[in-house]
Structure 1
Amino acid sequence: MQRIYNFIYRFRAVINLLVALGISLLLIFNQDAKQVQHMRGKLLDYAAVLYTPIQWLDTVFTAQKAYEDLAQRYIAAQVHINRLQSLANENNRLREALGFKKLSSFGVIPANVLSKSGPGLLISLSVDQGTKDGVEMLAPVVDANANLVGKVVALGDESSLVQLINDRNFRVSVREMRTRTIGILGFFDPGYFRIENIPFNTKVSIGDSVVTSGFSDIFPPNIFIGIIQMVEPELEGYVKSIRVEVASDFNRLEEVFILKKHGN
């Protein structure tokens, strides 16, 4: 049945032409008015029967075309909605960034993350700001919430390479906020951050905050790094090490902020 409908729909113009031609021939060669009228009625009935499936097929194909158009518009609208949602999320991140605590002697250069690399020789990311924008070698880098991300280790005119703090060669002097204990933070196997050689009698606790100490030419004091996750004894109880859960999520970084000393 579907094949018949498709055939009729495909050749509907030819069929209509043949019907019209038949009616014209009858009108020309038949002089009996009654017979002409009778045949005209029959042909009209035939044409009505023939036209009904054609009209139905027109409706079906029109509905199909309308459905396809609506589907395309829906997809386009959904893409636009997703884009607006992405822009809204980006706007929220930037609004949060504007609210992070100011570092008294440093300005901020916002940068977009272009790419990430690792875990090869250097775990890093590239950003779209360079020397033309005032970025300097070894400049500290933070995320939108002012959590430490890393430092600049290579410069181009319009881009920079940032070594992340989860690179195993990265070290930073840190301070535990409550007891003011100083140590060196690094990233160690099998994959966690640790502060080593802390005096055993130091009263650090799980949940205490860890920030940069300021005992560095690179990092200013009080940049937030994370919280203490675990305290472990070492060397027969003389010293202990501290595991730290860092605050920054390196897998979700889209924008970072490069710190720049005022007046440079």
Structure 2
Amino acid sequence: MLTNGDSDNLRLLRSKANRFFTYIYSPITWVRTMTLIEEEASLLREKNLQLSFQLESMRHLLDENSRLKKLLNFKRESKLNIYPARVINMGASPHLSSSLTIDIGSESGVSVNDPIMTPNGIIGKTVIIGESESIVQLINDVTFRLSVRIKPSNSTGILRWLDKDLYLIKEVQKNSNVEVGNQIVTSGFSDIFPSDLPVGEVIKITDERGRFQKSVIVKINENIGSIMNLFVIVDE
């Protein structure tokens, strides 16, 4: 039989052995714990990524729904004879610096020089017509010109593309009361574009020294690069 002294020694030996093995296995335990933590973190990152994709998809659907509602409301409320069309190609013509192709043509009653617009305003005109497709010259093409009126002064001029999303109206009379924020609309002087269709907004006015005119810098209402749907104004 073990004496009390022997029992104490045995307990002491066991305690030292436990501490020894704990010391030996603690790095292994730490590695296993860190591996589990990393696996859980990886799963969480994957779930967060999936949720981010789902959220982005929901936002896209909401934006698309809002855009389509705006198009539908515009068609319902417009007094113009307009046909909806979808953009099927950008930069379609080698003869134009800025153009696109739409999915309707002569079969739908579209003809050359029909105005093209979105709910935000005028963006171009048709130039080449096929049976089921048409090529549109955009407002930011270097040769595109648009007769416009500046409200509320009713000053008129010819709008042309300047740079990026900026446009220029030259030869506006210097004594015209034009201010930043004034709205730009079609003048009605053209045989192509009806009057008072929205175009853009004045953002800067520059006097031309030694001349009786001033230049007006305009930002148009529409983002040309993001157009997916539009309307063709056709003769009744």
Establish whether TM, by shorter chain, passes 0.5: yes
Two-structure CA RMSD over aligned residues (Å): 2.9
CA distance in 2, matches of 1:254, 1:87: 15
| 1:250 equivalent in alignment to 2:224 | yes
Q: Residues 182 and 90 from structure 1, CA distance in 2 versus in 1: closer, same or farther, beyond 3 angstroms?
A: same
Deviation of 1:216 after TM superposition, in Å, equals 1.0
Letter aligned with residue 128 of structure 1: D
| 1:135 equivalent in alignment to 2:101 | no
1:158 aligns with one of 104, 127, 132: 132
Q: Deviations over 1:39-60 (max 9, x none)?
A: xxxxxxxxxxxxxxxxxxxxxx
TM-score, normalising length from structure 1?
0.64
2:69 aligns with one of 95, 98, 120: 95
SS in 2 for 1:257: strand
Letter aligned with residue 137 of structure 1: V
| 1:182 equivalent in alignment to 2:156 | yes
CA distance in 1, matches of 2:116, 2:198: 12
Q: Residues 79 and 132 from structure 1, CA distance in 2 versus in 1: closer, same or farther, beyond 3 angstroms?
A: farther
Which runs of no fewer than 5 residues in structure 2 stay unpaired? 1-45
Deviation of 1:135 after TM superposition, in Å, equals 1.2
Q: Residues 210 and 188 from structure 1, CA distance in 2 versus in 1: closer, same or farther, beyond 3 angstroms?
A: same
Structure with the greater alpha carbon radius of gyration? 1
Aligned to 1:46: none
CA distance in 1, matches of 2:117, 2:65: 18
Letter aligned with residue 253 of structure 1: I
SS in 1 for 2:159: strand
CA distance in 2, matches of 1:229, 1:99: 29
Instruction: Answer whether contact 2:153 2:177 (CA < 8 A) is retained.
Output: yes
Aligned to 1:49: none
Deviation of 1:136 after TM superposition, in Å, equals 1.5
May I ask how many residue pairs the two structures share in their alignment? 191
2:145 aligns with one of 166, 171, 174: 171
| 1:211 equivalent in alignment to 2:185 | yes
Q: Which has the higher helix share?
A: 1
Instruction: Answer whether contact 1:109 1:259 (CA < 8 A) is retained.
Output: yes
Instruction: Answer whether contact 1:231 1:243 (CA < 8 A) is retained.
Output: yes
Letter aligned with residue 147 of structure 1: G
Letter aligned with residue 180 of structure 2: I
Q: Residues 189 and 253 from structure 1, CA distance in 2 versus in 1: closer, same or farther, beyond 3 angstroms?
A: closer
Deviation of 1:100 after TM superposition, in Å, equals 3.0
Q: Deviations over 1:165-195 (max 9, x none)?
A: 0011000110011101111101135873101
Aligned to 2:204: 230
Instruction: Answer whether contact 1:146 1:223 (CA < 8 A) is retained.
Output: no
SS in 2 for 1:100: helix
Identity of aligned pairs, percent?
A: 32
Instruction: Answer whether contact 2:165 2:219 (CA < 8 A) is retained.
Output: no
Letter aligned with residue 230 of structure 1: K
TM-score, normalising length from structure 2?
0.71
Instruction: Answer whether contact 1:150 1:163 (CA < 8 A) is retained.
Output: yes
Deviation of 1:108 after TM superposition, in Å, equals 1.4
Instruction: Answer whether contact 2:205 2:217 (CA < 8 A) is retained.
Output: yes
CA distance in 2, matches of 1:160, 1:79: 36
SS in 1 for 2:234: strand
Instruction: Answer whether contact 1:97 1:146 (CA < 8 A) is retained.
Output: no
CA distance in 2, matches of 1:138, 1:179: 28
Q: Residues 195 and 229 from structure 1, CA distance in 2 versus in 1: closer, same or farther, beyond 3 angstroms?
A: same
Deviation of 1:149 after TM superposition, in Å, equals 0.9
Aligned to 2:43: none
